Structure 1
Amino acid sequence: MNQLAIRQEDANILLHQKNILDEQVIDKYRTAGTITETGLNYAIDLINQIYHFKSRQPLSVSQLCLMIDSLLVNMLSKVYLKCEKSITNPTSFNVNEVVSNFSPELDDSNEYFFKEGDIITINLGVQIDGYNSNVSHTICIYPPGDKPIGPLLGGKADSIIANYLCTKIVIALLGLSMTPEKLPLEARKFGNVVNGSMIKHYVNYIAEQFNCRVIPGSEIRQIRRFLSGQNELLEEKGYKGIKWYESDEEINIINKLGGETNSITKIFGEDTVKHQKGDEEFIIKSGEIYQINLKVASINDFNEIGIITTETINEYTGVNNKVNEFKMKPTIFIRDFIMNYKLKLKASRNLISKIDKKYSVYPFKLNYLTSSFPMKNNSLQEMNEIKSQILDNKLGLNEILNHNLVNAKPIQVIKFLPYKSVLDNHSVTSMGVNVDKLIKNSNVITDKSIESTTVLINNLNNELIQLSNNFEPVYCQSQFKLVDPTVEQLFNSLNGKFGVKVKKVNALPIKEQMDLD
């Protein structure tokens, strides 16, 4: 893992002085949250118009991504004119088993559309002066009509409701960090302050009560100026957060079966387990900002013990075309400023020059580098111009990728791996299990939910500011219920006169000009 070398004085400014919550910093976060929430609202409205109300012509996923990203950049251009501003999380629509970075470009040989029954997670985010707000929200494509004829049921509903409740419990615990004396007595077995172990326990508990599991890659972490986990290859100094790994599943299974936890290191590697334990050794403090990013999957369809895992793909069988297989290459990239190489191709040098001029440490897509982005009118002419310029940008992409000047953000899907396959696998190395062999025995999971929000613990007013994802879950109903009184007490702390004060950032109204006829 790379570590950026900077002077200690500069590091102190970046990690401490620039992250003190004052009115100006809070306003930048709040403005970023308003733009993010507006973008999410716009995305949901577009999907409703196309698939539920049938009031506008169908748009491909690549068109939807481009339109929403254009809206975000246009809104950013009108605020804080002297600050660096950009998209932090290019708009993606992760459908069914896809959990990350499904954001096709206009020039893709396949056009992707949704269909009834699809579970879709909308992901997007922006930053102002390095202070960012990211959001993910899961919805369902219902049959056409003003409202669904009935609630969503089964594993899809279980995962959506479980994730909604998991996110709520984390927000409640973040709020109680300002008044830990109000923690329920049962919760204090983890300590008299809110810490990582306490948060992880209650998230796992709620997921299990709905026969769900937390998907590896889920994370609850402190974010700081320019540091929000956007580059997985960069090791952050002073990282505070909780991550979920495949080994979490392994620990859970072995404990239930009464086995020895020493076998974890044989399967997943000693470093992974040590890192996992270290993630939880921290205390939530007032004045910090946290990104909650939880991915939850239902295991209702599986009657055997197994592990939830993720697989990185370059080829993806389309959800709308089960016969023809097509390739889906990554489309979201991030610059690695640690790497240096003298590029040989003129096209590569031109492309890296564009990237360095327009983008710093945040992800981007090739369409961001075109002269017609952001679109002003969402016209076919603008889209065609962008499409042709993407082809020009791709000419220098391979050399840049091959020398790691830019890294691709992987597209991942979730799968269920029977535990028997892990135990029967004999290709164990010092790095862990031979995933390529194991993955052949796995099954795709489509019943999933992803929810993400940014929360400020505002020590100036003793309140939480929830920057994004102020939407209720889609209309659904689960066969499972929570009956734990401690969990109920934690939920109740979000309400009432003496509970946690939560201020929510609202979306702005959108006046859209369209010319796609």
Structure 2
Amino acid sequence: MELAIHQDDANILLQEKNVLNESSLEKYRVAGQVAQTCLQYIVSLIRDSYHLGKTPQPYTCQELCILGDSYLKTTLDGVFKNGSVRERGIAMPVSIEVNELVAGFSPELDDSANFIFTPGDIVTISLGAHIDGYTANVAHTVVIYPAGTEKPEGPLVGSKADSVCAAHIATETVVALLGTVLSPEKLPQSINFSNNQVTGTVIRKLVDSIAASYNCVVVPGSKVRRVRRFLAGQAEGIVAERDFKGVVWSESNQEDALLSKSTLSKDLVSYDNEQSKKGHNSSAVPTDEFVVSPGEAYNIDIKMAPLGDFKEVGLITLETVDEFSGVNHKKDAFKAKSTIYIRDVIIKHALKLKTSRQLLGQIDKNSVFPFKLSHTSSNFPIDIKETNPEKIQQQIKLIEKDLKSHRLGLAELSNRHLVKPKPIQIAKFIAFEKILMSNNVTGPMGYDVAKPVLPGLELSLPKLGISSLKLKSLLKQSTAVPVARESTTVLLVQDGAYSNGKAEVLRLTGGSKTFTPSWVHSNHNLGGDYLEAISQLDALTKDKKFGIRVRECQPLKLAEKEGMQLD
């Protein structure tokens, strides 16, 4: 079997093994700058529209997504014009998740529903850019305050505030922890479990401790994982990545804590899950038994769900929604169409429709990263410097026209599994008592094939033997729970001319200097067994002389004309 990539790329991927040299560092840095700038642009649109009331009507999620994608595309087309790179593009389309939405929500322009925000919502903006496959992803949660002034009268309080605090502190702590890899002697002794090495076990214990302090749970799908060229998690659950390194949170990580709290679980017999792990490539199965090394790139993606609104013990899980969700049992259930797709390059098929073949040709130009149907339009991107509302609407209508002609081709590509949709997921709370009292008819091997998961994580609750299909059937008795998310990409640069010969953490995206956290107030305080270690790590990032050097990529300067308004 041959590699479906250019030989030059094969040499870098398989021989050089993603070495952080001066060339790759520059591509990472520029990708980070573009991602930072686009995030800043979308945040400014939300501020102007919802907080300051500068637009005739608030921006919808559809408009924010198309404007963000257009900004990404236009900015990326303006870098490395000298031909020193072979490709550059959108690594993750702009998605806007509100409250309980977790991932994948990026509505197209032709969606009939107008999704807007209300004061008190927490909104997560996530996106990514890549240059030659070197990827910078970012996600940031902002709070929608009442309109009128840029500065609200008071902070957001309650369970949503708890999740925002937990996600922010956990992300900053992991960034500092990864930085100690460059100076092992600075690793706090209270978490030094393995000879001055940062392992997956240390990362998990710190994040779980922060979550518990704020009465939150780390949402399944959260991860701290190594990223490599063209391997940034865009096809997880579809393609198994060899030599995977990362901490992944799933429902099974909540199982021990739930069993210890529940009075109904004393007489339960644990299920042996070893059989379900057989048949997998062992290097592709996530495990905490890995060591973080200098010269690697990591994406930190932490999602937190609060438990303050629930009096009973329960499980936080994910529900996949589509246009048919909740039709049978909930009148007001959230319904939406998947709009982000991934090209499965392994699948080959002779297509019948001409529109399908033309669409596939356009998709294959977008590399292996996720895409939206609007990206294949000849009228994409929208001119972000245009200030005439009528001309902007004309561009939008042209894209909508292309969407209609492309949807027929997309249907055949999807039916033949040449492209696969990324699911839209919602966080749900299920009372643990309902799980224990349920009858698992399908047995522990009843996997939900519609829900992509990493190898070895097919069984939701391994000790109880609860399958993903059984857990899915209990979702109709669940309650939606809000989620705060922070994601950042960091490089552990050991030395070299690019870093002036000094070891440093190059933070491509996110960061408190660039994106100040929203004003929130939690009634909980940071505590737990690792409070001292977390405080020491925070102090290391602030000590410029003896601490850890963390350098943030700064966004490009936004032009005044780029504050486009839609009528």
TM-score when normalising by structure 2: 0.85
Contact 1:255 1:261 in 2 (8 A): no
Q: Name the structure 1 match of 2:389.
A: none
More displaced stretch, 14-23 vs 290-299: 14-23
Is 2:486 aligned against 1:439? no
Q: Which amino acid in structure 2 is aligned with residue 199 of structure 1? A: I
Classify 1:423/1:7 alpha carbon distance in 2 versus 1 (closer, same or farther; 3 Å): farther
Classify 1:23/1:453 alpha carbon distance in 2 versus 1 (closer, same or farther; 3 Å): same
Q: Name the structure 1 match of 2:106.
A: 103
> Shift in Å at residue 103 of structure 1?
0.5
Q: Name the structure 2 match of 1:66.
A: 66
SS at 1:440 equivalent: helix
Following the alignment from structure 1 to structure 2, what is the Cα–Cα distance between the partners of residues 241 and 125? 19
Classify 1:188/1:262 alpha carbon distance in 2 versus 1 (closer, same or farther; 3 Å): farther
Following the alignment from structure 1 to structure 2, what is the Cα–Cα distance between the partners of residues 472 and 264? 46
More displaced stretch, 336-345 vs 430-439: 430-439
> Shift in Å at residue 467 of structure 1?
0.7
Q: Name the structure 2 match of 1:344.
A: 352
Following the alignment from structure 2 to structure 1, what is the Cα–Cα distance between the partners of residues 118 and 94? 19
Q: Name the structure 2 match of 1:38.
A: 37
> Shift in Å at residue 351 of structure 1?
1.3
| 1:381-400 matched pairs, under 5 angstroms | 381-400=394-413
Following the alignment from structure 1 to structure 2, what is the Cα–Cα distance between the partners of residues 488 and 191? 21
Equivalent position to 2:428, from 412, 415, 424: 415
Classify 1:396/1:385 alpha carbon distance in 2 versus 1 (closer, same or farther; 3 Å): same
Is 2:139 aligned against 1:136? yes
TM-score when normalising by structure 1: 0.93
Q: Name the structure 2 match of 1:506.
A: 554
More displaced stretch, 484-493 vs 330-339: 484-493
> Shift in Å at residue 268 of structure 1?
12
Equivalent position to 1:474, from 513, 518, 523: 518
SS at 2:49 equivalent: helix
Equivalent position to 1:453, from 482, 488, 493: 488
Is 2:542 aligned against 1:495? yes
Classify 1:386/1:211 alpha carbon distance in 2 versus 1 (closer, same or farther; 3 Å): same
More displaced stretch, 421-430 vs 117-126: 421-430
Following the alignment from structure 2 to structure 1, what is the Cα–Cα distance between the partners of residues 275 and 430? 14
Contact 2:324 2:335 in 1 (8 A): yes
Q: Deviations over 1:421-443 (max 9, x none)?
A: 11112123324421232112211
Equivalent position to 2:305, from 267, 272, 297: 297
Q: Deviations over 1:266-291 (max 9, x none)?
A: 79966799999952011111100000
Q: Deviations over 1:184-211 (max 9, x none)?
A: 2211135431111001100000000100
Classify 1:195/1:429 alpha carbon distance in 2 versus 1 (closer, same or farther; 3 Å): closer
Is 2:369 aligned against 1:370? no
Q: Which amino acid in structure 2 is aligned with residue 397 of structure 1? A: L
SS at 1:493 equivalent: helix
Q: Name the structure 1 match of 2:244.
A: 239
Contact 1:74 1:374 in 2 (8 A): yes
| 1:47-58 matched pairs, under 5 angstroms | 47-57=46-56, 58=58
Following the alignment from structure 2 to structure 1, what is the Cα–Cα distance between the partners of residues 479 and 565? 43
More displaced stretch, 341-350 vs 233-242: 341-350
Classify 1:316/1:344 alpha carbon distance in 2 versus 1 (closer, same or farther; 3 Å): closer
Following the alignment from structure 2 to structure 1, what is the Cα–Cα distance between the partners of residues 271 and 546? 44
Following the alignment from structure 1 to structure 2, what is the Cα–Cα distance between the partners of residues 11 and 251? 43
> Shift in Å at residue 420 of structure 1?
1.0
Equivalent position to 1:430, from 442, 445, 449: 445
SS at 1:70 equivalent: helix
Classify 1:329/1:67 alpha carbon distance in 2 versus 1 (closer, same or farther; 3 Å): same
Classify 1:175/1:109 alpha carbon distance in 2 versus 1 (closer, same or farther; 3 Å): same
Contact 2:356 2:410 in 1 (8 A): yes
SS at 1:426 equivalent: coil
> Shift in Å at residue 80 of structure 1?
1.6
Q: Deviations over 1:320-370 (max 9, x none)?
A: xx97667411000110000011111222122112212x2110000011111
> Shift in Å at residue 26 of structure 1?
0.8
SS at 1:133 equivalent: strand
| 1:62-101 matched pairs, under 5 angstroms | 62-81=62-81, 82=83, 83=85, 84-101=87-104
Identical pairs, percent: 41
SS at 2:542 equivalent: coil
Following the alignment from structure 1 to structure 2, what is the Cα–Cα distance between the partners of residues 238 and 267? 20
SS at 1:31 equivalent: helix
Classify 1:472/1:127 alpha carbon distance in 2 versus 1 (closer, same or farther; 3 Å): same
Q: Which amino acid in structure 2 is aligned with residue 491 of structure 1? A: D
Contact 1:196 1:280 in 2 (8 A): yes
Classify 1:167/1:415 alpha carbon distance in 2 versus 1 (closer, same or farther; 3 Å): same
Q: Which amino acid in structure 1 is aligned with residue 547 of structure 2? A: G
Following the alignment from structure 1 to structure 2, what is the Cα–Cα distance between the partners of residues 474 and 353? 43
Is 2:463 aligned against 1:463? no
More displaced stretch, 475-484 vs 158-167: 475-484
Following the alignment from structure 1 to structure 2, what is the Cα–Cα distance between the partners of residues 92 and 287? 30
Q: Which amino acid in structure 2 is aligned with residue 435 of structure 1? A: L
Q: Name the structure 1 match of 2:456.
A: none
Following the alignment from structure 1 to structure 2, what is the Cα–Cα distance between the partners of residues 426 and 8? 53
More displaced stretch, 392-401 vs 277-286: 277-286
> Shift in Å at residue 376 of structure 1?
1.4
> Shift in Å at residue 472 of structure 1?
2.5
Is 2:191 aligned against 1:187? yes
Following the alignment from structure 1 to structure 2, what is the Cα–Cα distance between the partners of residues 276 and 367? 33
Following the alignment from structure 1 to structure 2, what is the Cα–Cα distance between the partners of residues 305 and 272? 35
Following the alignment from structure 1 to structure 2, what is the Cα–Cα distance between the partners of residues 277 and 259? 30
| 1:88-237 matched pairs, under 5 angstroms | 88-144=91-147, 145-232=149-236, 233-237=238-242
Over aligned residue pairs, what C-alpha RMSD do you find?
A: 2.8
Gapped runs of 5+ residues in structure 2?
Answer: 387-391, 447-458, 460-466, 496-501
Following the alignment from structure 1 to structure 2, what is the Cα–Cα distance between the partners of residues 278 and 327? 32
Q: Name the structure 2 match of 1:263.
A: 270
Following the alignment from structure 1 to structure 2, what is the Cα–Cα distance between the partners of residues 245 and 290? 19
Q: Which amino acid in structure 1 is aligned with residue 412 of structure 2? A: E
Q: Name the structure 1 match of 2:453.
A: none
Gapped runs of 5+ residues in structure 1?
Answer: none
> Shift in Å at residue 260 of structure 1?
8.7
> Shift in Å at residue 216 of structure 1?
0.3
